[in-house]
Structure 1
Amino acid sequence: MELELLDANPMRRVKLRLAKTEAAIDRRVVVNPRQARAQLAAVRERDPALEGFFACLYYAGLRPAEARNLRLDDCNLPAQGWGSLVLTGSHQYSGSAWTDSGRPDEERELKHRTTRDIRRVPIHPELVETLNRHCEQFPLGVSGRLFVTRTRRAGLPLAPPFQNPVSMGIVHSAWHRARRKALTAKQVDSLLARRPYDLRHACLSTWLNAGVPPAQVATWAGHGIDVLLRVYANCLDGQEDLARGRIEEALRDAQTET
């Protein structure tokens, strides 16, 4: 082009795809355990059939689409102690124009995985208790789905069998009510846990800050370790103090040896 040998720039016809990157999490969205438990308690008071849904996001790091797809057969729920989940897929809302079935949402594989991949996740005793209580109190959906749509648009109850996973509209409405109930007015106006997905961020941040090796957290979360560390780097409390302590210890040991 600089030599004026071409009539037009051929690069304009080349369509470039920008690589997708996940931005680092703003730590202002991450709730602490006390705040998370207060919000779950608020859900239990007003929308008890969804307490387990949000608890899966906070205690097991599930994505909302993975929780929508959760079935009883996927759960190991002992009477007490730790349990586990075996995640086999997700139920995504994409809009009818983007699904093979023409329905607005459909069951798919786990994110960034093939249709045969599964993910095993340990679940804290508090989540085990919550899910056991959920299964005792609320009829399951078709094929044992835990979290289903139980009301019509007007709020009237549906009779079983429950065919559809809980809609994200219902999920968001319940979460907004819980935030207003459990948080201060200033916190409600802030970024703190504004979306249900932020509970997953809080879960993974808690695991990392508890000292769980990043490789293990990445496996449980369904992340690559490089993505995990890049996305959650801002949510690791106390890392600077730990690093300074290690430097001081190394210099102290070196001085002792001389």
Structure 2
Amino acid sequence: MEVGIVAQRGNERATSLAETLSGRLEADGVELRFDATTATALGRDDEGRSVDTFDGCDLVVSIGGDGTFLFAARGANGTPVLGVNLGEVGFLNAVGPDEAEAAVQREVDAYRRGELETQEAPRIAAHTDGWTGEPAMNEIVVQGPRRGRRGGGHVEVRVGESTYDSGPADGVLVATPTGSSAYNLSERGPLVHPGVEGLVVNEMAARDGMPPLLVPHDREITVTVTDVDHAIVVSDGRARHEVDAGTPVHIGLADQPVRLAGPAADFFEALGKLD
């Protein structure tokens, strides 16, 4: 069995916990894989790999906040990911640091018995003719060259074959239930319980626009931005792709969801970190 470990960049507590877990797993005969940054922090530079290779593991352990989890999940693809927090319950990291060793061991034992159970969290992806973007666990944003004065454009939003809105706006954000508590919330979008199968369509700084809309998760959302030099598609705040003005950008469920290992996070307990 091979376990991938990703520790939050620049966090000594995360590195220390990664070292503790590594020792225990190696003593149990488990092979380990580290991303390059974690390997360097642990003094295992020769063992570091791109996180994009983590889909070759049997389990991935993410140590840190939601950002670290998103980074690990991007490379894990369909490999189960166990999220370990550093003392503050997150929406994706249900295991506390004091419980980490026992929780990881339980998942390793369950895998060896063929009984590893996971929950699935949907991802979404954008595409145009000839291009498909990186899947996002939280949100995809389609916007003008920049936010704010003279940065937006004329935005048309379609849900399936129907037009939802058309008018001036900075852009449009499409969020999963997981991502409803992230960028979507700062744009005055609704919180969505993870048990709801839907996607949030949220216009950003729209002039006389429509309110945020929750649509069935199997609907395709199409966003077209005009009256700009170009538009930008952003996946989970990091992967950016430029498209020509007037290019329809289609957003829908990605083929591969994220598989979450370990106990499910308590949604309402995790809301406390938003205070």
Task: Decide: shared fold, TM above 0.5.
Answer: no
RCO comparison, higher one (Cα < 8 Å, 6+): 1
Question: What is the TM-score with the length of structure 2 in the denominator?
Answer: 0.22
Structure ID, larger Rg: 1
Given the two structures, how large is their TM-score scaled by the length of structure 1?
Answer: 0.23
